Amino acid sequence: MIEPTYTKEIIPEYDCFDRYDRILPAKVLEMFQDISGAHAEKIGCGYRAALSRGGIWIVVRSHLDIWEEPKEGEPLTIKTRVKKPLGLSFIREYEIRRNSDSRLIISGQATWCLADCQTRKLTRLNGLPYPDTYEEEQLYPKPLTAIHPFTGELNTAFTKTIRFTDIDHNGHMNNCRYADLVMDAIAPERDRALKSFEIDFESECYQGETIDIQIGRYDSQQFFVQGVKSSGKNSFRALATFF
């Protein structure tokens, strides 16, 4: 039987935190990404296995909730579980707990898909192993849905040029980088701690491209941020909610 869950211990380092010692959403997404990759490799459906069949794994959307702030150097345990696929969507849940008392401090969910290496269109890869049994426990019973376009006024916070170090092995800007762009646009004050973060990836960004980072506010606690390419095409949409 292929195990639908995977667990490992992690210790957040100094660079996982912002200037106010709060965990950065980009680092949480990186933790989610790393354990997803490790689990997929163990299953036999990881990066190289997909690539050998002409495909790549991509994240379509991600969500995270921060229930309590972790501390630098604190031993934690991260767990991922796969849920039953929905069409071309492979859904994973994540939980991060303190080793000292097993308290849930961060949770999340992500929708992964397989895309053709050449066309970048979503695809199925026959023969790629994947769990066919699933845990009954679910932190998020419903799958993620698309973030709606913002209907209010948007202001351009800055323009980002995609650089060499932004690019990952799939040849596009890594999904974790977008979270830093969102936080740079918001630039939260010391007394504003992140409660939840959600992002939809709509169009890949490649080296040399530029995107305008635009921001709007629903209220004093929730921000909308999107990236728009010079062509006018949306790259991503994100929601950040603060306490």
The pLDDT score that the predictor gives to residue 180 is: 98
Residue type (1 letter), 239? L
Which residues fall within 8 angstroms of residue 230, CB to CB, at 6 or more apart? 209, 210, 211
Q: State the average pLDDT over residues 176-180.
A: 97
Percent of the chain with pLDDT over 70: 100
Helix (H) or strand (E) holding 155: strand 155-161
155-242 is classed CATH 3.10.129.10: yes
Average predicted confidence (pLDDT) for the chain: 96
Q: State the average pLDDT over residues 60-71.
A: 97
Determine how many CB atoms are found less than 10 A away from the CB of residue 144: 18
Ranges 9-13, 136-140, 237-241: which has the least confidence: 136-140
Question: Using an 8 Å Cβ cutoff, are 21 and 73 in contact?
Answer: no
CATH 3.10.129.10 residue ranges for the chain: 5-116, 155-242
The C-alpha angle with vertex 125 and arms to 4 and 34, in degrees rounded to 5, equals 45
- Output the CA–CA distances (angstroms, integers) from residue 155 to 64, 69, 158, 233, in the order listed: 25, 30, 9, 17
The pLDDT score that the predictor gives to residue 38 is: 97
The pLDDT score that the predictor gives to residue 207 is: 97
Q: Over 80: is that where the pLDDT of 1 sits?
A: no
Q: State the average pLDDT over residues 74-84.
A: 97
Closest CA to 96 of 84, 109, 85, 83: 109
The pLDDT score that the predictor gives to residue 136 is: 85
User: Which segments within 86-148 are labelled E, that is strand?
Assistant: 90-98, 104-116
User: What is the tens place of the pLDDT at every residue in 139-148?
Assistant: 999 999 999 9
CA atoms within 13 A on the CB side of 232: 0
The pLDDT score that the predictor gives to residue 241 is: 98
Residue type (1 letter), 229? K
CA atoms within 13 A on the CB side of 157: 19
User: What is the tens place of the pLDDT at every residue in 104-115?
Assistant: 999 999 999 999
Tokens found for residue 24: 């950065």
User: What is the tens place of the pLDDT at every residue in 5-27?
Assistant: 999 999 999 999 999 999 999 99
Q: Over 90: is that where the pLDDT of 163 sits?
A: yes
Q: Over 90: is that where the pLDDT of 127 sits?
A: no
The sign of the CA dihedral 93, 27, 98, 188 is negative
Q: State the average pLDDT over residues 163-177.
A: 95
CA–CA gap between residue 59 and residue 89 (Å, rounded): 10
- Total number of residues shown for the chain: 243
The pLDDT score that the predictor gives to residue 157 is: 98
Closest CA to 81 of 91, 67, 66, 96: 91
Which residues fall within 8 angstroms of residue 148, CB to CB, at 6 or more apart? none
The pLDDT score that the predictor gives to residue 135 is: 87
> Which class is domain 5-116?
alpha beta
